[in-house]
Structure 1
Amino acid sequence: KRAIAFSPVSLLLQLILLPVYIWLFLGSEITTSVMQRELVLAFFGLIVLPLAAAFATEKWAEKREGRETILNAFGWLPVPLLALVVFSIAAAQVNVVIDSLGILPSLFAVFSAFLLIAGVLSLVLSKIFSLPTNQGRVLAFSLGSRNSFVVLPLALSLPSSFELTVVVIVFQSLVELFGMAAYIWWVPKKLYPSAI
């Protein structure tokens, strides 16, 4: 429950730190042109709107019979909705994606390796700090998911010379989406097989 409660705080921290990262990597010229409208849209679209929708859904479900069933059904909606968003952006950038097909296998290898390393690192850290199994599982998911879709609004607003950035972020989001689906099986079955 604490990990779920921390998720919006984590997203907010990522959005606050984005200007710093963009300034460090791309310079002040890009930072000033990109940061204005896109950060506000990302904040409301990725944090405020989903939190308000979740609150409204929970209040609506409280008044219905079978509350748990309703909430469990809605709990799976973020996965297909995120997939729809990522695939839509990929479709909109189809020419850039086609031009970048040569680098996709390398990107897939790097992003997949990251997911594997994050899982194993969580196991090592869990053993070092003697974390219970459930906390180790949360750590694995926290390390493995990078929420790269948070920077999508900013990447889409970058100048045309940075269009490859969009391909990398969209592809990473796809790999992460399927990677998290694999984590749902891998983490409890193989990494942390018994809950405490």
Structure 2
Amino acid sequence: MERHQVALYVAGLALGLAVGLAVPELAHPAELAIHPVLAVLLYTTFLGIPLSRLGQAFTNWRFLGTLTVLNFVIVPAIVWLLSRIVAHDQVLLVGVLFVLLTPCIDYVIVFSGLAGGDEERLLAAAPLLMLAQMLLLPLYLWLFVGGEFVRSVEFWPFAEAFALIIALPLIAAALTQIFATRSRLGQRAESAAMGAMVPLMVLTLAVVVTSQVAAVGQQLSSLLLAAPVYAIFVVIMVPAGILAGRAAGLDVPGIRAVAFSGVTRNSLVVLPLVLALPPAYDLAPLVVVMQTLIELVAMVVLVELIPRIVPEQA
């Protein structure tokens, strides 16, 4: 399955697309399943990371500094320029800003690891990225949209998502690793969970697409203007992330991880925030969802592409 993982991920996307369009009634149950499925996926990812070495990743200030500058200095400047495409429509603008200004802290670890990126350092950076976006997103929204809009936003889903999707799977993985060192049964459980990585990723892709594709299809004409913004963002951020990693003197796994962090956004975490906006912004959640669909396709491509752009001998 690992040898054919990209083909399997494309199959997962296609399955979600087919099911979501054929049976739109499944959208709500699939949406409820996103966070549990994602938590299990992250649990298996964390099992493959020697958590006893995680403390060393926290001390890599060059990597953490590169991620911080890329995501909170370079990305906002790029997003502001790209957002001019939809600046005439405040609903589209708000949706685009919410999703592109927030770096991913969950499945970026999985995709980066599949492409040979440094999972340990990305995991160590997750709390920093989460805290920074909680503090800086209101500032960026105030600068780009205005203070009155910022006062209508509640930011508690950030903390809730971090606890459910990152903290709990991380604790469970740590306990499993401890159990595995003391028991043959624990070793078998650890091996079985890690072997489930590829099918779990296929399931995650299928569930996310199933939950959202019908709603996007119904409003496609209104959302089409946001699609090129997301596509151009990916095209810009891949070389921007690679150049930032090389400028910082990072190794190959570090450069790959930085590139994925620059591209991947926190759509599944910010979606609850956007859903809580006033009724006038009822289209904004679908603007966020469209980014998710485009990004998932891009991630499947980048798992194959990034190792070729940043080869081991670089």
3-state SS, counterpart of residue 233 of structure 2? helix
Identity of aligned residues (%): 32
Check if 1:15 corresponds to 2:134.
yes
CA distance in 1, matches of 2:127, 2:202: 17
Tell me, yes or no, if the aligned pair for 2:152 and 2:278 is still in contact at 8 Å: no
Check if 1:65 corresponds to 2:187.
yes
**Structure 1 alignment gaps of length 5 or more:** none
- Equivalent pairs counted in the alignment come to 187
Residue type at the aligned position of 2:251: P
Task: Give TM-score, length-normalised by structure 1.
Answer: 0.77
Number of the residue aligned with 2:250: 131
Tell me, yes or no, if the aligned pair for 1:12 and 1:47 is still in contact at 8 Å: no
Structure with the largest fraction of helix: 1
Q: 1:88 aligns with which of 195, 211, 218?
A: 211
CA distance in 1, matches of 2:197, 2:127: 16
Residue type at the aligned position of 1:47: F
Q: 2:294 aligns with which of 166, 175, 180?
A: 175
Number of the residue aligned with 1:27: 146
CA distance in 1, matches of 2:312, 2:205: 30
Tell me, yes or no, if the aligned pair for 1:11 and 1:150 is still in contact at 8 Å: no
CA distance in 2, matches of 1:75, 1:165: 32
CA distance in 1, matches of 2:227, 2:249: 33
Identify if the C-alpha distance between structure 1 residues 14 and 125 changes in structure 2 by more than 3 Å, giving closer, same or farther: closer
Task: Provide Cα deviations, 1:21-66, integer angstroms capped at 9, x if missing partner.
Answer: 333344344333322xxx223311x101221133124313542123
CA distance in 2, matches of 1:110, 1:53: 33
Identify if the C-alpha distance between structure 1 residues 194 and 175 changes in structure 2 by more than 3 Å, giving closer, same or farther: same
Offset of residue 151 of structure 1 = 1.8
Offset of residue 155 of structure 1 = 0.8
Q: How well do the aligned residues superpose, as a CA RMSD in angstroms?
A: 2.8
Task: Provide Cα deviations, 1:51-104, integer angstroms capped at 9, x if missing partner.
Answer: 11331243135421235524424655467447635642555xx2xx34531254
Identify if the C-alpha distance between structure 1 residues 21 and 127 changes in structure 2 by more than 3 Å, giving closer, same or farther: closer
Identify if the C-alpha distance between structure 1 residues 60 and 68 changes in structure 2 by more than 3 Å, giving closer, same or farther: closer
Task: Provide Cα deviations, 1:114-158, integer angstroms capped at 9, x if missing partner.
Answer: 212211223333444443222211111111112233321111111
Task: Give TM-score, length-normalised by structure 2.
Answer: 0.51
Residue type at the aligned position of 2:132: L
Number of the residue aligned with 2:162: 47
Identify if the C-alpha distance between structure 1 residues 41 and 10 changes in structure 2 by more than 3 Å, giving closer, same or farther: same
CA distance in 2, matches of 1:65, 1:42: 34
Number of the residue aligned with 2:312: 194
Tell me, yes or no, if the aligned pair for 1:11 and 1:47 is still in contact at 8 Å: yes
Identify if the C-alpha distance between structure 1 residues 18 and 83 changes in structure 2 by more than 3 Å, giving closer, same or farther: farther
Check if 1:2 corresponds to 2:2.
no
Q: 2:279 aligns with which of 156, 160, 168?
A: 160
Greater RCO structure (CA 8 Å; 6+ sep): 2
